[in-house]
Chains A and B, each alone.
Chain A
Amino acid sequence: MTPFLIYVAVFVVSFYLVTKLQGAGIRDFTSLKTVTFGDESAVRPNRIAGVISIATIFLIWGIFTGSVIVPKPLHAPAPFEGTAEFTYTAQKADGATDDALVRVVVHPRETPAETAEVPAGDGFAKNDAAVVAQWRSVLIPWDKNDETTRKEGAKIVAINGQPITPGGTVDFDFGSVTLSDKGTPNFEPSRGLQMEPLYLPSPETVWTRTVKIFKEGFRNFSIWEHLGFSLYRVILGFILGAVVGIPLGYAMGLSNWFRGWFDPIVEFMRPVPPLALIPLVIIWAGIGEAGKIILLFLAALWIMAIAARSGVSGVNISKVHAAYSLGASKWQIMRHVIIPNSLPEIFTGARVAMGVCWGTVVAAELVAAEQGAGMMIMTASKFQNTDIVIMGIVLIGVIGFGIDMMMRWAERYLVPWKGKS
């Protein structure tokens, strides 16, 4: 809840600050438009908002993980670390009471600590010592060293002077003590408001782990091999899908028989998510490389076939008529009119197909793989290496974005007439 409120606050405050400061600066044509609500062309992404947006994510990430990238005063309250002390008041069966001290060493999970030294103390209740990691809790076996035990009717009646009954809780600075149903105090050091690194490691942890993985690799393969394997599968699967799908799409766009024959198959297979094919592909082709290539081939095939088909049907009939009237043969019309005319559609299809293939390969590697981006994050998650999981997700996102950018660039370069006729 708190992170969300901070996020909203930053959003609102920066909106007012930036628009107020920036307002007078821009004097282009769009700034003179009075109707901007509803005019999509007047909506331009505010670059400063973009920068603040990314910075805010890191800010909140840093605040709630106690990161070094955020100045210390801004950190959310950290979990307690050090030596916590509290007293309990034990009562014997005959009604006599005595206080004893409990000293608990609270340490970060990564650095083990020794149990605190504590003098035995006086009275029938003796002092106790314990050790516990942050975000964990510890039962204090208070009566083990005392001169009386629970079996003889002794019980704890107060913690730090506050009366308590089984099931009750007493809070204090270091954390809280809950009395179990059997009367044993359970000490839980204060959690603060930060996330446990197991769930969300700090940005610098992810960064150092990334550097380390880039240097040393992960599970017998370098990071480049993991990412390269995923990319290789995507590219091979996509190329196979395109090599089969594009001619199929052309045939469907040019012949009644092909259209009739393949329409039911293509229309049925298109809405089947490639992920739903994983079990069948594993049964047929096993979990090896072949299975993944087949899966990606199927993911790309229908998309490319449909793109090529609509590329053919999208040709202005005047172009085809004109070409016939200029004396072109069927093959020449295919080569000089239909294929170039369908390229924009095919590029759109290729972009979609590459995106789908990239998503599918990661999912396929989650299921079973020796190497690959998906395998990396799945294995890391099994070993609770959340930092590797986050790193992997970021890398997968970066590569997916990169693929899309490259396809767009190729499109601008190869089909400059797209959307301009």
Chain B
Amino acid sequence: MTGLSIQNLSMSFDLPSGGAVQALQDVSLDLKSGELLSVLGPSGCGKTTLLNIVAGFLAPSGGEITLNGRAVHGPSADRGMVFQKGALFEWMSVRDNISFGPRMQGQREAEYKDEVDHLLEIVGLQDFKDKAIYELSGGMQQRVALARCLANHPDVILMDEPLGALDALTREKMQSLVLKLWKETGKTIILITHSVEEALLLGERLLVMAPRPGRIHTEYRLPFADLGVEADLREVKKHPDFGVKREEILSMIWDMEEEIMGRSGDSK
């Protein structure tokens, strides 16, 4: 069986002040190889926790994750991670950052050189390959992060708000790039975002999570990611369904937020 399978995942832990937190409750999810899932939800709904568990940085207190039939324990090269920012190695050039994974596996330069050059071309950084990380703009840095992840050939790519720190224009360009890379490489991708538009545009499947305890609220299957591979993303946004879905999800999240506010209001 290929793909990522999450079965009855739960996560709870004690607080130093006493009491316990239920961060995730009974989350089940099956992701076929090559699917792109975007995850939305108000803050505190456990989406980053979910991603960290899949990545292997956190251990769940219940449930099981399997990737291609094998259980997941701890981080490994089969699940690549793209962070919002600050995860690149400033002491290495762009090229050394991208080739980090292959080098750690003991590959020689001759083995990974073509691949790295190819990735530099895909993300449009061939003229910047010898630059230092701090000489690049924020958008370029995220391109490096994407390329670094791809160079390692992971089965699943986990993206934790990868475009969250970028300005609006750069963000649009990067959204197209993510779709292009997804189509070209056929990777399974889980993308966490705060932006409803981004989730709709990039998510072949879209998961809305609810907080306290973190759980899956609604799941959608969407056509926009496939449309976006071919067309301009601005055209996709004009699709009649796009606006409808956006309003639906936004009001869903608004309701959750208001519920939280109301609840905390009561407890005071």
Contact = CB atoms under 8 A, between A and B. Distances in A.
A228 B44 CA distance: 62
A321 B48 CA distance: 14
B42 interface: no
Interface string B150-178: 00101000100000000000000000000
Contacts, number: 81
B75 A336 contact: no
Nearest to B55: A325
Nearest to B85: A318
A420 B134 contact: yes
B215 interface: no
Interface in B83-142: 83-91, 100-101, 104-105, 132-134
A327 interface: yes
Q: Classify the secondary structure of B's interface with A.
A: loop
A416 B100 CA distance: 20
Contact of B83 (A321, A336, A337): A321
B76 interface: yes
Interface residues of A, number: 23
A317 to B, nearest CB: 9
A327 B86 contact: no
Given A321-B57, A332-B104, A336-B100, A326 B87 contact: no
B89 A336 contact: yes
Closest CB pairs A-B (n = 10): A327-B77, A318-B87, A420-B134, A417-B90, A324-B75, A326-B101, A340-B91, A325-B81, A322-B87, A318-B83
Interface of A: 316, 318-319, 321-329, 332, 336-337, 340-341, 343, 415-417, 420-421
21 contacts: A318-B83, A318-B84, A319-B88, A319-B89, A322-B83, A322-B145, A323-B104, A324-B74, A325-B77, A326-B100, A326-B104, A327-B76, A327-B77, A327-B152, A328-B100, A329-B104, A343-B91, A415-B91, A417-B90, A417-B132, A421-B90
Interface of B: 55-57, 74-77, 79-81, 83-91, 100-101, 104-105, 132-134, 145, 148-149, 152, 154, 158
Given A321-B83, A323-B104, A326-B104, 18 more contacts: A318-B83, A318-B85, A321-B57, A322-B81, A322-B88, A322-B145, A323-B100, A325-B55, A325-B76, A325-B80, A326-B77, A327-B77, A332-B104, A340-B89, A416-B132, A417-B91, A421-B90, A421-B133
